[in-house]
Structure 1
Amino acid sequence: MIDHDAETEVFAPAAGAKTSQELWTELNSFYIAEAWLLDERKMHEWLDLFTEDVLYFMPRRKNVPSRESHREIPPYGTDLPFFDEDRKMMLVRIQRMDSGMAWAEEPPSRTRHLVGNLVVERVEEDGTVHTKTAFLCHRSHAEYDTALYSGYREDILHPVDGSWKISRRTIVLDVNVVLDKNMAIFF
């Protein structure tokens, strides 16, 4: 996870490299395209945005006193998360949705992902980028079930063949208890 107490590093490109504004614009376009893939249910194309060794992680947020705020979001491997998936598990979920046998997604949910507030936290020498984005996701299922999720995502992206691949995604919801009947969508 990204250290929020540290100051955000300013991206200073090498000669011939992208400026911070060019990088931000490119990544913003990437995230907009990703949201459309999810909302149009192009799940296999969406999965192609991730590396083979991806970690897709959604910890359970805890209610803690302000003096213990460092415990609010448990680090990876220390608590039971909502999601802790690799690419294979993500593919299994997508294949179940395709089969019509995933009762939680039959009929499929209608979603609208709004992603914004993109911050480029850090750029490593090899081009790896650490980002943070805020999101709203509206989910409508069947006739009466609706949910609105809000939170933020921390991603690690790698440049691969002129495109971006996500190798780690940490999703943090703004709530600690999800009142939905199920949470079978992706964020």
Structure 2
Amino acid sequence: MAMLLNAQTQYELEQFYYAEAACLDEARYTDWLALFTDDARYWVPVRQTRLTGQLDEEFTKPGEIALFDDDMDTLGIRVRKLQSAYAWGENPPSRTRHMYSNIRVTARDEDSLTVNMNFTFYRGYLAQDADWWVGRREDVLRPHEDSFKIARRHVFLDQTVILSKNMSHFF
């Protein structure tokens, strides 16, 4: 259940996420990486189609196979690769657009907020390649100076089959 926030905090959260989207869409990956805490975790589990009574098994669990299971070191490696000449799947670079909606706080304690949101992510490459990704993110944010930092990101994709030719992007 979403928690009630004052209008100022909701506005600050939305602006934080819109600025994050701009970093990704403008290929400012170093700026994007700076939005994370030093102990951050970025995790994208695999989704499998399950029957109604098995929905608790729909996503792989932490420690099981995942599309991404990155700490700050591996996120940094991915960012540096994207900025190098060795990112062959991103040369020329993709055109991306990150769109976020339903940004809501679902838990809070003294030093963090748990924020859920829906996202749509478009990736266009060359003349005809296009990928659409849809899903939900769950972030744990910690206050930092006059904004926030991402301490944990879990990305739950709606797709069960990955049709993209590469997955060098961030959700």
Q: Give yes or no for TM over 0.5.
A: yes
Whether the 8 Å contact between 2:113 and 2:142 is mirrored in structure 1 is yes
CA distance in 2, matches of 1:9, 1:163: 20
- 1:52-99 CA deviation, whole Å, 9 max, x = no partner? 11100000111111101111122211x211000111111111111111
Larger radius of gyration: 1
CA drift at 1:147? 0.4
Whether the 8 Å contact between 2:12 and 2:147 is mirrored in structure 1 is no
- Segments of 4+ moved more than 6 angstroms: none
Whether the 8 Å contact between 2:2 and 2:104 is mirrored in structure 1 is no
CA drift at 1:138? 0.5
Choose the corresponding residue for 2:27, options 38, 41, 48: 41
Residue aligned with 1:95, SS: helix
- Residue identity opposite 1:133 in structure 2: M
CA distance in 2, matches of 1:125, 1:89: 29
Aligned to 1:93: 78
CA drift at 1:21? 2.4
CA distance in 1, matches of 2:33, 2:126: 25
Q: Percent sequence identity over matched residues? A: 37
TM, length-normalised to structure 2: 0.96
Trace 1:25-174 onto structure 2 (pairs within 5 A): 25-77=11-63, 79-126=64-111, 128-174=112-158
Residue aligned with 2:83, SS: helix
Cα RMSD, aligned residues only: 1.2
CA drift at 1:174? 0.5
149-158 or 90-99, which deviates more: 90-99
- 1:122-141 CA deviation, whole Å, 9 max, x = no partner? 11023x00000100010011
Aligned to 1:10: 3
Residue aligned with 1:82, SS: strand
Classify 1:93/1:10 alpha carbon distance in 2 versus 1 (closer, same or farther; 3 Å): closer
CA distance in 1, matches of 2:61, 2:6: 29
CA drift at 1:29? 0.8
The structure richer in strand per residue is: 2
CA distance in 2, matches of 1:75, 1:119: 24
CA distance in 2, matches of 1:56, 1:168: 6
Aligned to 2:6: 20
CA distance in 1, matches of 2:54, 2:158: 17
- Residue identity opposite 2:3 in structure 1: V
CA drift at 1:9? 5.5
Q: For this pair of structures, how many residues does the alignment match?
A: 171
- Residue identity opposite 1:54 in structure 2: A
CA distance in 2, matches of 1:45, 1:94: 10
Residue aligned with 2:133, SS: strand
Which structure 2 segments of 5+ residues have no match?
Answer: none
